[in-house]
Amino acid sequence: DNYPEETTWAITNAGGSVVASGGPYGSQADGSTLNTTVCLPDGCYNFTISDSYGDGICCSYGNGSYTVSQGGTTLASGGSFTTSQTTNICIGGGPAPTCDDGIQNGDETGVDCGGSCAPCATCDDGIQNGDETGVDCGGSCAPCGGGGCTTTQVNFANFESNFGIWIDGGTDCARVTNATYANSGTRSVRLRDNTSTSVMTTGNLNLAGYEEVTVDFSYYPVGMESGEDFWLQVSTNGGSSYQTLVTWASGADFNNNTRYNESVTITGTFTSNTRIRFRNDASADNDAVYFDDINISGCVNGNRLSGEEFIADVLVANPAVGVNHAVLFPNPTSEMLNVDFFFSGKTEGNVQMIVTDITGKQVLFEQYQSTPGAQRRTVDVSRLSAGVYMLHIVTDEGRTTHKFAVTK
C-alpha cells in the first residue's frame, strides 16, 4: 500500500484479549513488504487488519495485500476492505476441531469440507461439514450430531421476462414495469384490492421430500390503509384449500413506500401438489403491494420437526423488529457490501456471516465476536461473479437472510 502509516493489525483470543499486534508502519517505505513472525499457543483467534483512513490497502492508492500463514497454509488473506477486516484463524492443534467452526480442520479439504470429521458437532448449520458433498448435503456427517440439511433451490423469479412458475390471479394481479417498485431490474408483480383475483399462486410443486421450505421475497407497499394486509398461504391439495401462515398489516408490520425483505421458513408436512400463494386483503384498486425476487428453497432430510400443522418462522429485514436486523448497502454493489447490523444478544456472542449463491453454495464465510447493539461490518465481495447472492447472519439466537446483487 502507498500509505503504510494507516495500517494496523491485531490478533485476539476467544476472550477478546489482544495477544499480538502491529503498526502503524510510518517508517516503512510506500509499497514495501513487511514479514512478521508471531508465536502463539495452539488455539483459535481472530485476526483483524485495519486502515485508519477507511479505504483498505487496495486498490485506489497502491495494490496492497496481506497474508497470514502457518507452515505454508494460508489462514487469512485480502487487501480490499474499508475500515477493517476480521478472519477467524486456528493455530496448531487448537481446541478439538468441530464441523461447524468455519476452519479447515484435520483432513478436511476445505472450510468444514471433506475429511472424516470424527469430532463433528452439528450437521444442520448451513456449512459444508465433514464429508458432506454440499452444504449440509450427503456424506456421513449425520451421526456426528444429528440433523444435516441439504438446501436446494426450488425456484427463483424476478419477473423480468414472465411470471415464471407463478400464476396470474386475474384482474387485480399484474406484472408491471416500474423500477421504483422492483427490487432488481424494472418489473415486479402487483396485487391490489381484495377480490378473488388479488392473488399470485405457484403451480403444483413436488415438495414431498422437504421438511422445511423457505420463501425469501422483497415487497413494496403503496396506498395500503392502516390495518389492510396481505397474506402468505400454503395448500397441500393442489389449491382446493389454503392455510394462511403469515399476515403482514399496514401500520403494524410495514409502512407505505418502503422496501422490505422477508424470509419465511415453513415447517410442516408437504406433498407432491403443494402450492404457495400471496393474497392481498385491501379495499380498493389503489391499495397495492408489489412483489419481486421471490426465491423458494427447501431443506431435505434435515431431521427437523415436522407435523400435520404448518409452522412459519419469519425473519424480517425491518428496523422496527430489532432482532437480527440488517440493512445492506450499496445494493447492488461491485466491491464492498456494508452491513448495518443489530445484534440483539444480551451479552457478547458469536456472529457468522455466510454468503451463498442463489443455488445455496457457500462462497464467503466470516466469523467474529460481537457485543450487543448496532454495528457495521464490511464484506469484500469484489471476487464474486455478477449475480444474486444471499447473506445469512447466524447468531446463537437465530438466523436471518438478506438478498443482495453483485454487478461488474
User: What is the residue whose three cell numbers read 491485531?
Assistant: 10
Would you state the pLDDT for residue 147?
A: 39
pLDDT per residue rounded down to tens, the chain (408 residues)? 889 999 999 998 877 788 889 999 988 898 889 999 888 877 788 899 999 888 889 887 888 999 998 877 888 888 888 888 988 888 765 444 455 555 555 455 555 555 443 333 344 445 555 555 555 454 543 333 333 455 678 899 999 999 999 999 999 999 999 999 999 999 999 999 999 999 999 999 998 888 788 899 999 999 999 989 999 999 999 999 998 888 898 988 899 999 998 888 887 788 899 999 999 999 999 999 999 999 998 876 544 333 345 666 655 543 333 334 566 677 778 888 888 766 666 567 777 788 888 766 788 888 877 777 667 788 888 888 888 788 877 776 666 777 778 887
pTM: 0.47
Would you state the pLDDT for residue 63?
A: 86
Would you state the pLDDT for residue 124?
A: 47
Would you state the pLDDT for residue 389?
A: 82
Would you state the pLDDT for residue 408?
A: 78
Would you state the pLDDT for residue 374?
A: 67
Would you state the pLDDT for residue 399?
A: 66
Would you state the pLDDT for residue 194?
A: 96
Would you state the pLDDT for residue 258?
A: 94
Would you state the pLDDT for residue 346?
A: 59
Would you state the pLDDT for residue 100?
A: 54
